[in-house]
Amino acid sequence: MKTYQSIKADPRSGLFGKTIWLMALVAMFLVSPLASAAETWPLLAGQSTDVGTVVVDHDINAGQVSVTYTLTDPNATFGTLHLWVGNQTNFDNLDKSNRPAPGKSPYSFNATGLTTHTFTVDLADVFAEADACGKDIYVIPHAEINYANGGNDTAYGFEFDGKDKFNARNKKGAAVGAWWYYGVYNVVCTPPTEDDQACYSYKGETAWADGSRYVNPGNWATYTAYVAGTTVDLFAGQTLDAGSVTFSAVNNGKVTITIDIAAGWRFAPVAENVKIQGYNEAPSGNPAPGNFTTHKAQASGASYTVDVDAFNFYGVHVDVEKVTPVACPVTQPE
């Protein structure tokens, strides 16, 4: 496993001054969204052992920032994950008395047994002003690590050494205190160039997690028999591969369901585009997704994760849209 020894200081300068750009919506065609710039930091356990990655990205159109934890150590799984995010003022106001201990982080997720998880945070929760372009997000990603041999450790996504922030030093000038790492992510909003500008059309489809039909013959809607740790296809319009649905092992009476959208598709921008119903016995009769009671939500981005009660069967219904590149409308000079 790779280890890290050198620690870099927080270079505050040079992180600002990005240009704000507006995008136009033309009839049924949408110019491609402002480009994001994902950053990847190593996930370091015990201060220096590389066990995975933390990837920070944003979707300026959805108004969200995502933080994805992924383990690359084949002998490790996650315990509980913690996340603190804030703007520069929030970070500057941290001191030894209010440094966010992992257990007090505003975002947490019990990822026991998993090797990846994504947090999604609204940019409106980080910045009071409407526009986030060109601004910095301070991220403190913490993970509990469990090893196959029974050992465990604590890990942080590493870009800068948190001990340097408080400037506590011993007689030899070395930083002292509890170790922790953090990163600084800049919300880059870059306009599309003439070469990469594109327009798209969107066609709505109904999608179901693959499985057995509720009614056969009849409605093609399907439900899935629960098997821990399995992934099934998400079919739109009965035969189109729109992504996948993964069911975790039961943990404290809950099952984590993760919906990943395939390239060329997106969650339809409508309320309650994800509807889930759990069943103790195999269902029959035409389903009515609007009456599902286990879980309803509006998802965005490329992935959606939720914890639901454990059942023997699940109906997972998703409203999606097929994204198709089309010729951009030509603007005629006046």
Task: Compare 20 and 1 and report the one with higher pLDDT.
Answer: 1
Among the listed residues 47, 122, 41, the one whose alpha carbon sits nearest the alpha carbon of residue 86: 122
Task: Compare 235 and 100 and report the one with higher pLDDT.
Answer: 235
What phi, psi does 45 have (nearest 5°)? -95, 145
Output DSSP code: residue 169: B
Half-sphere exposure of 307 (CA within 13 A, CB side): 12
The stretch 271-280 carries a mean pLDDT of 96
In the predicted structure, residue 276 carries a pLDDT above the cut 90: yes
In tens, the pLDDT along 92-127 reads 888 766 777 888 899 999 999 999 999 999 998 998
Residue 100: its pLDDT value, please? 73
- Alpha-carbon dihedral sign for residues 2, 77, 314, 67: negative
In tens, the pLDDT along 129-148 reads 667 888 899 999 999 999 99
In tens, the pLDDT along 48-91 reads 999 999 999 988 777 889 999 999 999 999 999 999 999 988 89
* Helix (H/G/I), strand (E/B), else coil: 91: helix
Cβ neighbors of 125 (< 8 A, separation 6 or more) are 85
Output DSSP code: residue 89: H
- pTM value is 0.52
* Helix (H/G/I), strand (E/B), else coil: 163: helix
What percent of the chain lies above the pLDDT cut of 70?
79
Q: Where are the domains of the chain?
A: 25-186, 199-325
Q: Which two tokens stand for residue 307?
A: 């914890």
In the predicted structure, residue 332 carries a pLDDT above the cut 90: no
Residue 162: its pLDDT value, please? 82
Residue 59: its pLDDT value, please? 84
Region of residue 12 (phi > 0: left; psi between -120 and 50: alpha; otherwise: beta): alpha
Neighbours of 317 (CB within 10 A): 23
Burial 143-160 (b: 16+ CB within 10 A, else e): bbbbeeeeeebbbbbbbb
Cβ neighbors of 27 (< 8 A, separation 6 or more) are 329
- Alpha-carbon dihedral sign for residues 293, 276, 313, 282: positive
In tens, the pLDDT along 158-213 reads 988 887 676 555 666 565 567 889 999 998 876 555 555 568 888 999 999 999 99
The stretch 308-321 carries a mean pLDDT of 97
Among the listed residues 317, 307, 318, the one whose alpha carbon sits nearest the alpha carbon of residue 247: 307
In the predicted structure, residue 224 carries a pLDDT above the cut 90: yes
